[in-house]
């Protein structure tokens, strides 16, 4: 009896490991690397205690990984003389940060269990841990992703939405990934953390009318009007608590204090207004929908079974 149920369990684990149609599961490393999750959590914790801005960086890296041919660690590959990766694609160049932190986390995981845990999973867990450690909701991350042996700069240019998008373009961009308008609005709440560069907000703070004038003026002090000057100066996406995960981002939108053009599109007299109002007054609802959408985003086109590899160093294929 006991041995047959053990057999069934083993067969099940093998099936999960080898089937290329395998589903992700929260317990994927329960037998192969039980230390994986605590190791990632403690590495993220120490990185964030050094610098709270790291949480935003890791969360965004996960988004930019998942939107480009799935959550497969492709974003983490470095360019070489013979390989063009995603790091210098338009949305990432001079903008995506935290790769060194991912390296540190992955090294800790490699020490605990060499060659077992993918970079894609490491990033998925690190993004969740960042949200938790900065005061946001907790959830179980589905695991079992493998790492890509390729990357696509063209797909990174084309699939990650730019801040110039209007509401319909944002909805379409997320729909292309199988994500709903609700997912899009909830995930945009990630902009409760982190910063944007002057180059991405100049048009909005100097030229747009659906913006609180005193808010625009304050932002202008760190972002000169002239293109080319101060392009990389950063401003917090959410002013009051830029390193705390909360629903103030949505309150800001209602007050016309969205920093990006795309942010304010979510509350500009269109179909997303009512959801923004709900999230601004109900942080439990925001947290619940954010978690559901993060899980959905984490499910985008994972490599499983014998596809891809478990990269040792997230910057290069084995
Ligand atoms: C809805 C479409 C989205 C657009 C158009 C967008 C655009 C941007 C832009 C332009 C920046 C500033 C980059 C810079 O100036 O260097 C940014 C930062 C950021 N985004 Fe998004 N984003 C979107 C969705 C998301 C999602 C879904 C997440 C995660 C759930 C996310 C998380 C972040 C974070 C945390 C930062 C700050 C990064 C840092 O401080 O280093 N964004 N985003
Ligand atoms: C992606 O965009 C960058 C910056 O605009 C550009 O230099 C690069 O050629 C683009 N890559 C591809 C493959 O389209
Ligand atoms: C504001 O709009 C005008 C007219 O379209 C344009 O010429 C100018 O470059 C814009 N200014 C900024 C700071 O984007």
Cβ(203) to ligand 3 under 6 A?
yes
Give the pLDDT score at 5: 56
Domain boundaries, the chain: 26-160, 167-296
Q: What is the DSSP string of 272-298?
A: THHHHHHHHH-HHHHHHHHHHHHHHHH
Q: Give residue-wise pLDDT tens across range 24-64.
A: 999 999 999 999 999 999 999 999 999 999 999 999 999 99
Write down the catalytic residue from 64, 142, 145, 146.
64
Q: Match domain 167-296 to its CATH number in 3.60.15.10, 2.40.50.140, 3.40.50.2300, 1.10.420.10.
A: 1.10.420.10
3-state secondary structure 206-273: HHCCCCCHHHHHHHHCCCCCCCCCCCCCEEECCCCCCCCCCCHHHHHHHCCCCCCHHHHHCCCCCCCH
Who contacts 270 (Cβ-Cβ below 8 Å, separation ≥6)?
Answer: 167
Give the pLDDT score at 11: 53
Give the pLDDT score at 20: 45
Who contacts 301 (Cβ-Cβ below 8 Å, separation ≥6)?
Answer: 69, 70, 71, 72
Does residue 40 sit in helix, strand or coil? helix
Give the pLDDT score at 8: 52
Give residue 307 CA to ligand 1 midpoint distance, Å.
Answer: 29
In the chain, which stretches have pLDDT less than 70?
1-22
Radius of gyration of the chain (CA): 20
Atom of ligand 1 nearest to the CA of 234: 15
Length of the chain: 318
- In what helix (H) or strand (E) does residue 305 lie, and over which residues does it extend? none
Atom of ligand 3 nearest to the CA of 225: 13
Fold of 26-160: Peroxidase; domain 1 (1.10.520)
Q: Is 213 among the annotated ligand-binding positions?
A: no
Q: What is the DSSP string of 67-84?
A: TTTSSSSGGGPPPBTTB-
């Amino acid at each position: 009896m006991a041995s047959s149920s053990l057999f069934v369990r083993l067969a099940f684990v093998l099936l999960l490991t080898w089937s290329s149609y395998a589903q992700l599961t929260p317990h994927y490393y329960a037998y192969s690397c039980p230390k994986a999750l605590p190791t990632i959590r403690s590495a993220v914790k120490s990185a964030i205690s050094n610098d709270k801005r790291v949480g935003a960086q890791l969360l965004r890296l996960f988004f930019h990984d998942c939107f480009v041919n799935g959550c497969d660690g492709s974003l983490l590959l470095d360019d070489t003389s013979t390989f063009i990766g995603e790091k210098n694609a338009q949305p990432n160049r001079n903008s995506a940060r935290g790769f060194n932190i991912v390296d540190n986390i992955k090294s800790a995981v490699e020490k605990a269990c060499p060659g077992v845990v993918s970079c894609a999973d490491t990033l998925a867990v690190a993004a969740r841990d960042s949200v938790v450690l900065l005061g946001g909701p907790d959830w179980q991350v589905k695991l079992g992703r493998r790492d890509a042996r390729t990357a696509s700069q063209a797909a990174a240019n084309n699939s990650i939405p730019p801040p110039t998008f209007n509401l319909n373009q944002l909805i379409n961009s997320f729909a292309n990934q199988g994500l709903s308008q609700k997912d899009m609005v909830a995930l945009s709440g990630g902009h409760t953390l982190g910063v944007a560069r002057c180059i991405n907000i100049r048009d909005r703070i100097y030229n747009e009318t659906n913006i609180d004038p005193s808010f625009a003026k304050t932002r202008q002090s760190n972002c000169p009007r002239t293109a080319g000057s101060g392009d990389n100066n950063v401003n917090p996406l959410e002013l009051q608590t830029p390193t705390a995960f909360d629903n103030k981002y949505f309150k800001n939108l209602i007050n016309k204090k969205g920093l990006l053009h795309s942010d304010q599109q979510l509350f500009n007299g269109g179909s997303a207004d009512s959801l923004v109002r709900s999230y601004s007054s109900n942080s439990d609802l925001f947290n619940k929908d954010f978690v559901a959408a993060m899980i959905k985003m984490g499910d985008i086109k994972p490599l499983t079974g014998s596809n891809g590899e478990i990269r040792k160093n997230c910057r290069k294929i084995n």
